[in-house]
Every structure is written in C-alpha cells, then in structure tokens.
Structure 1
C-alpha cells in the first residue's frame, strides 16, 4: 500500500524542482500555505546534516471548503503535504494521497472529495 503520489525528477536541481512544483500546484488551484525546510531545521535544532528535504503544505480552497462542509473536523488533516527530497536518483516529489489519508474517516461524501483532490494532485505531480 502506498500513501503518496511520487515522481523523481532527474533533470533539475532542488530549487528548480521546488519552483516547478509550486507552479504545477498553482496550475491545479493549490496554494502553498506552509513551508518547512526540514534540512535547515535539523541543522539548527539538532546540529544534524541531511540532504535537501522540504515540506510544502498545499491547499485548494474550493476543495477544502467542500471537505470541511462534509466533515468539519477534517481540518485536522489539512493541508495536503507535498515533500521534495534529495535522493541519489534525483529530486523526489511526493504528495500525500488524500484517499489513503482519509481512510479513517467514515464519510462517503468526504471520500468522493478526496478522490477529486487525489486526481488533481496526481496531475500536478506529473506536470512537474
């Protein structure tokens, strides 16, 4: 079972993939609400070195509106996280699969909304 939608980019550096990811998300109606530079945080807090790792908290306002309308507590599971991570093979981009992340919620309407969001995120990941 996989819980992310993944793609490895081999033809660009970390910052270029970040820019391409943000554009692909924006083209599908997602904004980046939060950003965590995990590499910098681990260095600052633990004095540990690691490869590039960034978490982008992406949100499509229309889909968030629908999801919250269907299940008010779903906000605890938002926004949809997208990670960028340096690997030996290139820059891996992984977006959460909303269908998998909502499996614990017994709400058929929410599951339908999650399916739409998954499709939108999958298209964004493939467009990077």
Structure 2
C-alpha cells in the first residue's frame, strides 16, 4: 500500500486549499494547523521554489476512538494533507492513514483507518 495518495488539479494553490477545506468540513474534518514550507523557509533566509502547504486535519470523534484503543496512534495523528505547486501545476495529496496505522498491526484500528482514508481521498477527488 502506498504511503502517499496525490492528484493533480488545474486550480490555483489558493483555490485548491479552499476547496479541500470545504470538502473536509462536509465530513466533520477540521484543519488544526497550516504551514507553507516555502514561506517558512524564506523566513529563515532559505530559498524554496515551490509552494508546499501542509494541512494537519482531524475528525475529533475518530481521533478519540483510535487514541482510546492505542495511545501510540497519537504519534501519527493528526492526518497530514498537502497542497503544493510544481511545474505550474497544483497537487493535492495526503499520507495514507491505512498505511500509517497499519504499522501498529491492530485489526480493529485498521478498519477505522480504512474509513478515514476513504473520506480523505473523497475530499481530494471532490477538490480537483
């Protein structure tokens, strides 16, 4: 199973982020934190050519469920999503929760991760 799921879109970076946030909200996912690595690196005096925006997203109910079953799952929470630019194209992607939670080898949690992955993939597909 791949660790990254990513799709390209003709939308601008800002349009893609706005669309992704809207589609995540429909499924009770909120954005807890947002960082554009390009801007942060420039603050530190380093040049980085492309926008690379990391969004940490969470569905509180599902996070509580997995944390109650295995507190160590918190090491891979919240879910990371990315909207980035490369070669005049915008990409929307995520790290796959199924792959990450699968590392803990707990069948019950794998089902939750599968559902989360499906929801996040649907949000990406709806945002392109």
Pairwise CA distance, 1:109: 1.1
2:7 maps to: 7
- Distance (whole Å) between structure 2 residues aligned to residue 104 and residue 7 of structure 1: 24
TM-score (norm 1): 0.92
Query: How do residues 3-42 of structure 1 correspond to structure 2 at under 5 angstroms?
Result: 3-10=3-10, 12-42=11-41
Give the 4+ runs in structure 1 shifted more than 4 A: none
- The count of residues paired between Structure 1 and Structure 2 equals 127
Pairwise CA distance, 1:89: 5.4
Q: CA RMSD in A?
A: 1.3
1:82 maps to: 81
1:13-39: per-residue Cα shift (whole Å, max 9, x none)? 111111011111111211000111111
TM-score (norm 2): 0.92
Give SS of 2:66's match. helix
Query: How do residues 1-128 of structure 1 correspond to structure 2 at under 5 angstroms?
Result: 1-10=1-10, 12-88=11-87, 90-128=89-127
